Homo-oligomer: A and B are copies of this chain.
């Protein structure tokens, strides 16, 4: 597969912002950030990265393929856990440096911790924080969809400190 399959060269701001030319911008590490939301609920499920090959494969397969920065390899989401993300829509933003995926998830979970969304805690703000300097997060999901130990066993946790 040609490395540049699907992608146009970025030539002008007009082309990138206002045309039908697909000219995604990969950063100096060859990556583009990806926002993945649930097609039905609209909930933000995860934020990850793709390299050119991951984006090409996602477009071909209709399933989300990311690039794992911790494992430095393509990451076909759900191949281990079974929680495949089926693409319903792919969007690109104005300056084409971010991809938005709208997906259905088999099994309903997207966080390696076991929750439906990776964003299972909220941060207090505004009036709630008046005069305060310490924050206590609040859990927005109370039950895990799966037990990570059952799915992943003792494989390495991707979270870096």
Binding site for B on A (CB under 8 A): 2, 5-7, 10-13, 16-22, 25, 33, 35, 37, 41-44, 46-47, 58-62, 87, 89-95, 98-100, 111-113, 115, 118-127, 129, 133-140, 157-161
Please, which residues of chain B bring their CB within 8 A of the CB of A111?
93-94
B137 touches A112 (CB 8 A): no
Q: What's the Cα separation between A126 and B65 when bound, in Å?
A: 13
Known: A42-B42, A47-B35, A135-B22. A94 touches B118 (CB 8 A): yes
B62 touches A121 (CB 8 A): no
Q: Which residue of B lies closest to A35 (CB)?
A: B35
Please, which residues of chain B bring their CB within 8 A of the CB of A123?
22, 59, 90-92, 99
Q: What's the Cα separation between A161 and B7 when bound, in Å?
A: 14
Q: What's the Cα separation between A33 and B31 when bound, in Å?
A: 14
Please, which residues of chain B bring their CB within 8 A of the CB of A18?
113
Q: What's the Cα separation between A62 and B130 when bound, in Å?
A: 11
Q: Which residue of B lies closest to A21 (CB)?
A: B137
Please, which residues of chain B bring their CB within 8 A of the CB of A124?
59, 90
Please, which residues of chain B bring their CB within 8 A of the CB of A17?
113, 159
Question: Among B20, B126, B133, B158, which residue has its beta carbon within 8 angstroms of that of A6?
Answer: B133
Question: Among B62, B100, B161, which residue has its beta carbon within 8 angstroms of that of A119?
Answer: B100
